[in-house]
């Protein structure tokens, strides 16, 4: 899927939100990864099953930031099409 449907009613998020698209044939993740401070958190929702791991480690967090920057630079920019988060691939 190379478009995003509306996902928020808080339009202030959209002013600061950016998104990029990477074809899942090139790189696919089965979970969400979040990095904050020296923490790397991985979580996923599968039906009723919720799994989450938090790692408090500066090296893990820094490594994940490097991986993020690598893929962010290769992702296609997505254009916001409304104030609720709709976006399509394009500039």
Q: Residues 81-84: contacts with CB within 8 Å, 24+ apart?
A: 82/6, 83/11, 83/14, 84/6, 84/7, 84/8, 84/9, 84/11, 84/14
**What percent of the chain has pLDDT above 70?**
98
pLDDT of 1 strictly over 90? no
What are the sequence ranges of the domains in the chain? 29-91
Contacts (Cβ under 8 Å, ≥6 apart) of 52 = 41, 42, 43, 44
Q: What is the mean pLDDT of residues 38-42?
A: 94
Q: What is the mean pLDDT of residues 27-43?
A: 92
Q: What is the mean pLDDT of residues 60-86?
A: 94
Segment holding 91, helix H or strand E: none
pLDDT of 19 strictly over 70? yes
Q: What is the mean pLDDT of residues 9-14?
A: 89
Q: What is the pLDDT of residue 30?
A: 86
pTM of the shown model = 0.78
């Amino acid at each position: 899927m190379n478009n995003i449907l509306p996902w928020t009613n808080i339009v202030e998020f959209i002013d600061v939100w950016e998104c990029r698209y990477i074809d899942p044939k090139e790189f696919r993740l089965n979970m969400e990864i979040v990095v904050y401070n020296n923490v790397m958190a991985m979580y996923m929702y599968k039906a009723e099953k919720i799994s989450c791991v938090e790692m408090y480690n500066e090296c893990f967090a820094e490594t994940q930031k490097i991986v993020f920057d690598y893929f962010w630079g290769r992702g296609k920019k997505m254009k916001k099409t409304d104030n609720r988060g709709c976006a399509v691939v394009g500039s």
